[in-house]
């Protein structure tokens, strides 16, 4: 490391995580069958036995972030009254959206609505392929990918951001613990929390990189006829890692922000084109009806576990998504807090929950509706293609049926690549920050050494390759589930801490704007 660096390694955090991840990789190669059994056992013990906690925690988070839009505390500005945002609203929203979407909407945009449409959960009592199943499919997908997911990122962004910028706490995932007692937590407790959060993000990025690799490989197969093999997976992963490391060199302001602006533009252009090409009125009707159904059954749907009627479908769909999002949440929340300097808590809530949710809702409604129309009209058996080629091929098969299909497939492949390198760049940057200690004030745009980012990038890529090689998508999803549940529980604690901001005595507050808000309560 450069002696002039503003950071030094925090080995109390760095080595435990490295040793755990290396042990996972080595054991999986030594005895894959035994390792798979261990993963399955841990999954059963952790997720299946505690799935009842997931819905209530997510609901608590959602209510809290939404409350920040209307509560007086929402006026508090991160950094104080004189602080001003570093990015325009469009760039800020782009960073919030693209650093959290990853390959989520581009991978599952057709696959998840189609799965719910053709294979509805037993507890719903709906006929596969029916109009009722179509509306429920979009409502459930949007519940999971929009409103239910993004509140997790918002909670950590608010808790960490206010602690760091208004209460002079270090920029670390455990910073929110300050609000429990109005003073910093014990350093050993902070270290344990940081380790748990970092293991969670590694599990989450591993899952995303694994599924993204499979989808991009399927895209190359659809466009150029290249056979999907483990060698192709390795090549694709290497290209992705090099891509987001090059992006990281420019830092947040010059690298990540510029790319995310273009990424958001790509999303918008694709959506507009799909609305023009697709059955526009049907899509808009679906948007209205599914949104009404989603909010009409919001509490019932978000707390459904399937445990009473023996339906285990929620575990590897809704619960998996919430828990895997929780794996990302603390580190992504720290990244969002870092870029939210100068914004009010209300603006953070809008940027981290409202804007990304709206993009997700429109995306899934458009692509899901068009896929339903293809299936029911008989123009293309997209469900059959999914069964034959896998979930990762769904979007490319979909685009292949449109006018200028190959062009759309190429553009979409590029979109996937940009989407993932955006998330991976922000994740590796904040992971590097979380495993290091800042020893002096940062210069403009200064970030951790690229060598440390590269180390975490390679470790995450190696983990992803291991999991998809021996268990495909299910292996990646299992790892995300195991790594995410502890961080989801921490999310519940972070939510309590956000409400505790109002309880901290004014004399303990370093920012006058917070003092004013508290004194007005």
Q: Domain range spanning residue 265?
A: 7-520
- Rounded to an integer, the average pLDDT of 329-352 is 92
Higher pLDDT, 514 or 288: 288
Task: State the total domains in the chain.
Answer: 1
For residue 311, report the phi and psi dihedrals to the nearest 5 degrees: -90, 110
Crossing angle for the helix pair 257-277 and 280-296, to the nearest 10 degrees = 110
Instruction: Tell me if 173 sits within 8 A of 491, measured CB to CB.
Output: no
Q: Look at residue 164 in the predicted model and tell me its pLDDT.
A: 92
Residue 429 lies in a domain: yes
For the domain that residue 452 is a member of, what is the CATH number?
1.20.1740
Distance, in Å, from the CA atom of 212 to the CA atom of 204, rounded to the nearest integer, reads 12
Distance, in Å, from the CA atom of 40 to the CA atom of 33, rounded to the nearest integer, reads 11
Distance, in Å, from the CA atom of 307 to the CA atom of 232, rounded to the nearest integer, reads 40
Instruction: Tell me if 350 sits within 8 A of 69, measured CB to CB.
Output: yes
Q: Is residue 309 packed enough to be buried (19+ CB in 10 Å), middle (13-18) or exposed (0-12)?
A: exposed
Q: What is the pLDDT of residues 390-406, one digit of tens each?
A: 877 888 899 999 988 89
Q: Look at residue 444 in the predicted model and tell me its pLDDT.
A: 61
Instruction: Tell me if 435 sits within 8 A of 13, measured CB to CB.
Output: yes
Q: Is residue 39 packed enough to be buried (19+ CB in 10 Å), middle (13-18) or exposed (0-12)?
A: buried
- Identify the band that residue 452 occupies on the pLDDT scale cut at 50, 70 and 90: confident
Tokens of 138: 């979009």
Strand pairing partners for 19? none
Distance, in Å, from the CA atom of 510 to the CA atom of 514, rounded to the nearest integer, reads 8
Q: Look at residue 510 in the predicted model and tell me its pLDDT.
A: 46
118: pLDDT strictly greater than 90: yes
Instruction: Tell me if 78 sits within 8 A of 166, measured CB to CB.
Output: yes
Distance, in Å, from the CA atom of 521 to the CA atom of 450, rounded to the nearest integer, reads 46
40: pLDDT strictly greater than 90: no
Distance, in Å, from the CA atom of 33 to the CA atom of 27, rounded to the nearest integer, reads 10
Q: Look at residue 20 in the predicted model and tell me its pLDDT.
A: 82
Distance, in Å, from the CA atom of 415 to the CA atom of 423, rounded to the nearest integer, reads 13
Please provide the distance, in angstroms rounded to a whole number, between the alpha carbons at the two ends of the chain: 49
Q: What is the pLDDT of residues 172-199, one digit of tens each?
A: 889 999 998 888 888 889 899 988 888 8
Residue 268 lies in a domain: yes
Residue 2 lies in a domain: no
- DSSP three-state, residue 258: helix
Tell me the DSSP string of 204-250.
Answer: HHHHHHHHHHHHHHHHHHHHH-----HHHHHHHHHHHHHHHHHHHHT
Highest mean pLDDT, choosing among 237-251, 468-482, 483-497: 483-497
Percentage of residues of the chain with pLDDT beyond 70: 87
Residues 334-359 as b or e (16 or more Cβ within 10 Å = b): bbbbbbbbbbbbbbbbbbbbbbbbeb
Pick the range with the lowest mean pLDDT from 96-110, 177-191, 274-288.
Answer: 96-110
Q: What is the pLDDT of residues 415-439, one digit of tens each?
A: 878 777 777 777 777 788 888 887 7
Q: What is the pLDDT of residues 48-94, one digit of tens each?
A: 888 899 999 999 999 999 999 998 889 889 998 889 998 889 888 88
Residue 349 lies in a domain: yes
**Could you tell me which of 225, 113, 206 has the C-alpha nearest to residue 420?**
206
Tokens of 420: 């993932």
Tokens of 8: 């030094």
512: pLDDT strictly greater than 70: no
- Which residues are CB-contacts of 166 (< 8 A; sequence separation ≥ 6)? 76, 78, 79, 80, 509, 510, 511, 513, 514
Residue 1 lies in a domain: no
Distance, in Å, from the CA atom of 482 to the CA atom of 453, rounded to the nearest integer, reads 24
Q: Is the dihedral of CA 460, 464, 470, 473 positive or negative?
A: positive
Residue 189 lies in a domain: yes
Q: pTM for the full model?
A: 0.84
Distance, in Å, from the CA atom of 61 to the CA atom of 491, rounded to the nearest integer, reads 8
Q: Look at residue 471 in the predicted model and tell me its pLDDT.
A: 58
- Residue 374's Cα: distance from chain center in Å? 29
**Could you tell me which of 255, 277, 244 has the C-alpha nearest to residue 402?**
277
Q: What is the pLDDT of residues 218-261, one digit of tens each?
A: 888 888 888 888 889 889 888 887 877 776 665 555 556 666 67
With helix as H, strand as E and coil as C, how does 155-197 read?
HHHHHHHHHHHHCCCCCCHHHHHHHHHCCCCCHHHHHHHHHHH
Distance, in Å, from the CA atom of 192 to the CA atom of 500, rounded to the nearest integer, reads 22
Count CB atoms within 10 A of the CB of residue 294. Answer: 24
Instruction: Tell me if 331 sits within 8 A of 197, measured CB to CB.
Output: yes
Percentage of residues of the chain with pLDDT beyond 90: 35
Distance, in Å, from the CA atom of 57 to the CA atom of 50, rounded to the nearest integer, reads 12
Tell me the DSSP string of 337-389.
Answer: HHHTTT-BHHHHHIIIIIHHHHHHHHHHHHHHHHHHHHHHHTS--HHHHHHHH
């Amino acid at each position: 490391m450069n002696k002039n660096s503003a950071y030094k390694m925090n080995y109390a955090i760095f080595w435990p995580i490295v040793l755990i991840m290396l042990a996972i990789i080595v054991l999986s190669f030594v005895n894959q069958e035994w390792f798979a059994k261990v993963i399955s056992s841990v999954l059963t013990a952790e997720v299946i036995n505690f799935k009842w906690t997931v819905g209530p925690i997510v609901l608590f988070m959602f209510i809290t972030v939404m409350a920040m839009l209307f509560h007086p505390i929402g006026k508090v500005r991160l950094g104080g009254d004189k602080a001003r945002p570093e990015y325009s609203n469009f760039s800020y929203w782009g960073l919030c959206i693209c650093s959290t979407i990853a390959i989520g909407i581009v991978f599952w945009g057709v696959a998840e609505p189609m799965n719910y449409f053709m294979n509805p959960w037993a507890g719903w009592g709906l006929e596969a392929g029916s109009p009722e199943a179509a509306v429920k499919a979009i409502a459930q997908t949007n519940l999971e990918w929009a409103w239910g997911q993004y509140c997790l990122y918002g909670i950590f962004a608010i808790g960490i951001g206010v602690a760091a910028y208004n209460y002079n706490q270090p920029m670390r995932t455990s910073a929110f613990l300050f609000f429990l007692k109005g003073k910093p937590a014990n350093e050993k407790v902070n270290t344990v929390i940081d380790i748990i959060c970092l293991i969670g993000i590694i599990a989450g990025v591993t899952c995303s990189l694994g599924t993204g690799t499979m989808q991009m490989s399927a895209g190359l197969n659809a466009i150029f006829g290249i056979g999907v093999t483990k060698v192709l997976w390795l090549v694709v992963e290497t290209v992705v890692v090099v891509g987001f490391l090059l992006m990281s060199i420019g830092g947040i302001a010059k690298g990540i922000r510029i790319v995310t602006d273009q990424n958001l533009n790509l999303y918008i252009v694709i959506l507009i084109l799909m609305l023009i090409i697709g059955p526009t009125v049907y899509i808009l009707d679906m948007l209205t009806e599914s949104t009404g159904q989603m909010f009409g059954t919001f509490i019932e749907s978000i707390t459904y576990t399937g445990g009473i009627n023996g339906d285990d479908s929620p575990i590897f769909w809704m619960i998996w998504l919430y828990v895997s999002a929780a794996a990302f949440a603390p580190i992504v929340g720290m990244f969002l807090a870092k870029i939210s300097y100068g914004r009010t808590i209300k603006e953070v809530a809008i940027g981290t929950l409202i804007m990304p949710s709206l993009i997700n809702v429109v995306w899934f409604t458009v692509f899901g509706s068009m896929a339903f129309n293809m299936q029911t009209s008989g123009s293309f058996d997209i469900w059959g293609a999914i069964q034959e080629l896998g979930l990762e091929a769904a979007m490319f098969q979909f685009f292949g049926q449109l006018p200028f299909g190959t062009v759309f497939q190429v553009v979409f492949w590029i979109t996937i690549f940009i989407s993932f390198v955006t998330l991976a760049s922000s994740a590796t940057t904040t992971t590097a920050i979380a495993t290091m200690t800042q020893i002096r004030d940062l210069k403009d745009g200064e970030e951790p050494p690229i060598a440390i980012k590269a180390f975490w990038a390679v470790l995450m890529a190696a983990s992803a390759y291991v999991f998809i090689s021996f268990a495909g998508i299910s292996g990646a999803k299992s790892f995300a589930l195991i790594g995410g549940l502890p961080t989801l529980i921490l999310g519940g604690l972070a939510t309590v801490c956000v409400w505790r901001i109002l309880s901290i005595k004014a004399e303990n507050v370093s920012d006058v704007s917070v003092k004013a808000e508290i004194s007005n309560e």
